Structures are given as C-alpha cells and as structure tokens.
Amino acid sequence: IGDIDDGANTRIVFAWIFHQSNLAKGQLDFLSFFSYPFYLFYLESFILGGLFFANCFYIYKKEWGKLLPFALTCFQMLMFSFAQEKGARYITADLPLIAIAVSFIVVDLIQSAKKPVVRNAIIGLIIIMFGIHGYKSYDIMCFHNAYQESMADLRKTDNDIKVASSQFMVQKIHAASPKYVTGLPQQAQGLLILYANGFRYLVIDPQAYISYTRDGRRFSPELTGYMEMAKRVIKPVKVYPHFSDELLKRFVLEHNVNLRESLNFIQKNKTEHYGELKVYDLRTIMVVLKELQQRKVQGI
C-alpha cells in the first residue's frame, strides 16, 4: 500500500506524523491524560468499559497471556496521551485490542458461571451492550453529507459557482471544478480578494472550530472575527443539519487536544448547534463589515 502511486500514502502519513509532533507541543492538560478511559465509557458504553477493566482480574489469576491485549492497550493509552489527535489513535490502534480484551473476559465469565441464572444474566448484559452499540452505529450510518447537498443547491443557480469553505478539501469534490472551492481566510481583509476573484458564498461547518477559532485553540466557542460576526448577526442563506449530536461528540473527541475544552464545547452544543453547516452570502457579509467599520470610525 505504501508504494502505490509512487509512495503517496507513505509520504502523506509520515508528513502528518511529523506535523503532529510539532502540534503536540504546549497542548498538555492533566485532565487530557484520562481521555482514553473516558472515551471508552462515554463514546462506547459503561458495559464495555467495565468489561475491559475487568481484565485486571487476570493479574490476580496470573494469566499473563490473556492479559496481553489489556496491557498493550493501557500502554498505548499512556503513550498516546502525550500526543494530539487522540481520537484517531483510539479508533485505529486501541479499539481492536479493546475488543479482543473484552472477548477474553466475556468468554471466561460465561464459562466460569456455575449457575444458569448467572450465565443468562451475563449473556443478557452482552446483548444489551450490542444493542447500545448497534444504536450508536446506526446513527453514524444515517449521516447525511451536507457538503454535497449544499453544493448541489448552490449549483442550481450557477453551475460554476465559486465557494469558500471551512472544509474546502471535501467541498471541492462536489464542485464543477476543484478550483471553484477554496479555504476561508483567517482575516476579514481576505474576503475582498475572494470577492474580486469571483467567490460569492461562504460555507462554515464544524471544521471551523478546529481551524478558525479566535484564540487559535481547538473547539473554543468563538470563531475568528468576521466568522463570529456572521454567525451572530447575519442570517444564513441556508442551514443544513449536518452532524447529529452523537456524531458531533465523536468528531470533537476524535480531534481532541484538551479534554476539558472539548467537553465544554459538547455541552454548549445543546444551545449553539455547532454541528450545523451554514451557507452565507459573501456580499452580505462584506456590506455588514463595511457598516460596522464606518460606525467604528464615527465612534458610534
């Protein structure tokens, strides 16, 4: 796989690893060291979390072979707690080992249960766990791509419409040409350049709370200047539901850097609806910005 397309996968993966090694500096927070155990209970279920940590029983029984998946997972959790993008590592590296560790303890619990009622209770608990995970998986499966829908709606009036998006890498897939979609500028002055080059709409989605926050911290509730103004003052051309509450939780925690701030963001989502994708008219934003600037000059 790493050699396909002249080693494109290898180049991108290693570039991202080295990029993250720089991003991780200065991001440590004590509560974030508990991110992985928290994910297990919060994103999955208390049943799965309890069964995973029940593997500690193998220490008492000195069954070191069965303890291996649990021990490896705990070691990885500790090491990955120092780095960024904890959620991505949780999914790709930890979850498979967690599933193996839970399987070991479940089989042992069922086999060691002497009374049928105890055995049936354990099986019932496992069925409930599968039901919880099935429900959460179904919610993810029902995710509707608002990037495609928003571009399709905009292209109804002009097939060659130009759009600036906070998630331009995905948005451009659905444009008439990739050059018709670009990223959002960090400063309001960049909007003039966009408009001069024929861009007419801005698309702001949850990705903005990673790349365009006012203080530069992930999932800080305030966006950079003109975006926050647009969010508070200007009525969007259209609003798309995009992320459900459950999917937003996973999105936030998969890109988590500071667990405390990430949880605050998830809590505020109940009233702020951060999971929505909003389309704004660029000309309207520029007019409002001009009016605000004139008021500032006049001291109003």
Domain boundaries, the chain: 10-141, 146-298
- Please state whether the predicted TM-score (pTM) of the whole model is above 0.85: no
Spell out the residues 6+ positions from residue 220 whose beta carbon is closer than 8 angstroms to its own: 209, 213, 214, 261, 265
pLDDT (mean) for 189-199: 91
For CA atoms 246, 213, 276, 153, give the dihedral sign.
negative
- Cα 248 to Cα 87: distance, rounded to the nearest angstrom: 13
- Cα 21 to Cα 163: distance, rounded to the nearest angstrom: 32
pLDDT (mean) for 123-148: 89
Q: What percent of the chain has pLDDT over 70?
A: 87
pLDDT of 299 higher than 70: no
Indicate the pLDDT class of residue 88, thresholds 50, 70 and 90: low
Q: What is the mean pLDDT of the chain?
A: 85
pLDDT of 24 higher than 50: no
The better pLDDT of the pair 33, 271 is held by 271
**pLDDT score for 29:** 64
> Considering only 13-22, 30-39, 69-78, 279-288, which range has the smallest mean pLDDT?
13-22
- Cα 19 to Cα 13: distance, rounded to the nearest angstrom: 10
CA distances (Å), 120 to each of 48, 51, 103, 126, 283, in order?
A: 18, 16, 17, 10, 65
Tokens of 283: 């000309």
Indicate the pLDDT class of residue 289, thresholds 50, 70 and 90: confident
Distance of CA 100 to the CA centre of its chain: 25
pLDDT of 25 higher than 80: no
**pLDDT score for 139:** 84
pLDDT (mean) for 107-127: 92
- Cα 294 to Cα 47: distance, rounded to the nearest angstrom: 59
Indicate the pLDDT class of residue 23, thresholds 50, 70 and 90: very low
